[in-house]
Amino acid sequence: MNILHILPICLLLSHCMTSQKGQTQSVKKYGAKGNGLHDDTEAIQAAIDKNETVFLPKGVYLVNHLVVGDNKRIYTEGYETVLKQNPNHARLAHYDVDKSLIWVKGSYVFLDYLTCEGNIEAYGGEQNHAVLLLPDTKNISNVHIKGLKIKNMRGDGLCIGNTHFFCSDIKAENLTIQNVYRNGVSVTSGHDILLSNIDVRQSGLGGIDLEGEGNTDMPFENIQIEKALVGNLSVSGMNQKLTNVTIKDVHIDGTLKGSTPSYKYMNPSGIIIEKAENVQFTDIILENLPEFAIYAGDVDTKQAFLSRNIIFNNVKIRKSSLTETRYNAYICVMGFTDLTLNNLTADLEKDKTLFLGKTETFKGTQQVILNKAEVRGGKNLAQRCQLVGKNLVIDTEGGCLTEMTAPSIVEDSDIKCQRLTDKVADKPKTKIPASYSTQKRSLTVDKTDFKNCTVVERE
């Protein structure tokens, strides 16, 4: 056992009178067997109810459903302590909190390193979560989940949900999640939430899903994600506006999507952004995605709410063979007012576009700010949007800018393409003098300014 696990256990056992409701107790005292055969639900629940600090020695504990209220600390012997969903537990056909393996409904809760194992094939429905944080009579706060190994759950690995109340000051770290029917981690409302060191493989719906499902007046803000490997990631306000999100050091690999058995549908994009504001991504890798690497679609057009102030720093798009053919684009900007990317590298497939907006619905609102980028291959750099670019190295097989909705500006850049902008039907294509291929010069083509750029137009 890791020394980091031993020390807190030793300290707790040597100070066993710290619990206000009694001594720190092992669940074995209440009759739990931990042999993988005996139903330990009642014994573990009794230990939790009667003590503020509970110890689960290593073993396999068959349980139906555990409820954790206020001021509870559960320590273990690391991932060798296993809570296994009882195969005889009632199958689920609809949403019901008592089908989650652990339901945290209280504040000031600590969960130590722990393994949770479900019955993904035997159960029905989609709400058998491993750990559910769901307030039922009041808001809950200050919950710390130190480490979880989760597999084969017929729901989410970790679900941070809402009723008429919400969660705040939540920290969940060191989550290894494999083969869950829905999301690896989902958050539907709340504020001041940290998700750190997350590894999700075989998620039927999403790797990490921030999706506002609370009342419109509920907070959904100040969420931080650090160090994650997932198949996809959603940042979506839905019923609420999602604000102030920071996402850092995330690797998105489309080959990690898909559960066994499979979910009824799967989102094919890498990063989905809808109804969100003030979101910053840093150090992002996107690969092996069947549709968009980054997507924001026609959302909430009646209220005219588009995602605002979305910033990406240090982004790599690689090994992405887009099988979706309707749009043929890597980054959809239909649902942004402004999108900033700083330091982007992208290798595009033939006949694909990097940035794609929409001509009519969001005309004049889809501005892409691109600072320092290397983009190679593809049909176009940008289409149906407005581009403000600086320090770019562009080498496309077709055009640079196509059907743009507003005049663009490109500065201090090196461009190789067949044409800078669209060929206009009533006049010949603008011929770029050969001198522009060797010296940085400025010119205006079809109302778009290229300032201090070298340009090589291929035949």
Q: Where are the domains of the chain?
A: 1-249, 268-459
Give the residue, 459 or 367, on which the prediction is more confident. Answer: 367
How much is the pLDDT for 91? 52
How much is the pLDDT for 195? 98
How much is the pLDDT for 428? 62
How much is the pLDDT for 98? 66
Tokens of 332: 């959809």
The model's pLDDT over 159-201, given as tens digits with 9 standing for 90+, comes to 999 989 999 999 999 999 999 999 999 999 999 999 999 999 9
pTM of the model: 0.90
Tokens of 2: 């890791």
- Tell me the C-alpha distance between 171 and 194, whole Å: 5
Q: Peptide bond preceding 407: is omega within 30 degrees of 0, i.e. cis?
A: no
Question: Would the pLDDT of 312 be above 90?
Answer: yes
Query: SS3 sequence, 138-198?
Result: CCEEEEEECCEEEEEECCCCEEECCCCCCEEEEEEEEEEEEEECCEEEEECCEEEEEEEEE
- Tell me the C-alpha distance between 139 and 168, whole Å: 8
Give the residue, 430 or 103, on which the prediction is more confident. Answer: 103
How much is the pLDDT for 349? 87
Q: What are the Cα distances from residue 204, in Å, to 117, 119, 186, 431?
A: 16, 15, 13, 51
Residue whose token pair is 């989609």: 126
**Cβ-based neighbours of 411, under 8 Å, separated by 6 or more:** 389, 390, 391, 450, 451, 452, 453
Please classify residue 56 by burial: count the beta carbons closer than 10 Å to its beta carbon, then call 0-12 exposed, 13-18 middle and 19+ buried.
buried
Domain 1-249: CATH architecture, name and number where available:
3 Solenoid (2.160)
Question: Would the pLDDT of 95 be above 80?
Answer: no
Q: β-pairing, 448-457 with 441-445? A: antiparallel
Q: State what percent of residues in the chain have pLDDT above 90.
A: 63
**Cβ-based neighbours of 367, under 8 Å, separated by 6 or more:** 336, 337, 338, 339, 385, 386, 387, 388, 406
| Closest alpha carbon to 142 in 247, 67, 70, 208 | 70
Q: What is the mean pLDDT of residues 323-349?
A: 86
With beta carbons less than 8 A apart as the criterion, state whether 455 and 420 touch.
yes
- Tell me the C-alpha distance between 212 and 208, whole Å: 13
Question: Would the pLDDT of 425 be above 60?
Answer: no
Question: Would the pLDDT of 12 be above 70?
Answer: no
- Residue 3: pLDDT band with limits 50, 70, 90: very low
| Closest alpha carbon to 305 in 367, 234, 238, 386 | 238
- Tell me the C-alpha distance between 280 and 95, whole Å: 33
Question: Would the pLDDT of 360 be above 90?
Answer: no
Q: Tally Cβ neighbours within 10 Å of residue 152.
A: 23
**Which sign does the torsion angle of CA 171, 176, 177, 183 carry?**
positive
Backbone φ and ψ for 286, nearest 5 degrees, come out as -125, 130
Question: Would the pLDDT of 60 be above 80?
Answer: yes
Q: What is the mean pLDDT of residues 34-55?
A: 96
- Tell me the C-alpha distance between 183 and 306, whole Å: 25
How much is the pLDDT for 93? 44
Question: Would the pLDDT of 14 be above 70?
Answer: no
Backbone φ and ψ for 221, nearest 5 degrees, come out as -160, 165
How much is the pLDDT for 19? 39
- Residue 436: pLDDT band with limits 50, 70, 90: confident
How much is the pLDDT for 405? 85
Q: State what percent of residues in the chain have pLDDT above 70.
A: 86
- Tell me the C-alpha distance between 143 and 173, whole Å: 11
Q: What are the Cα distances from residue 41, in Å, to 57, 65, 86, 111, 252?
A: 15, 7, 9, 17, 37
How much is the pLDDT for 31? 97
With beta carbons less than 8 A apart as the criterion, state whether 207 and 179 touch.
no
How much is the pLDDT for 94? 42
State which amino acid sits at residue 250: V
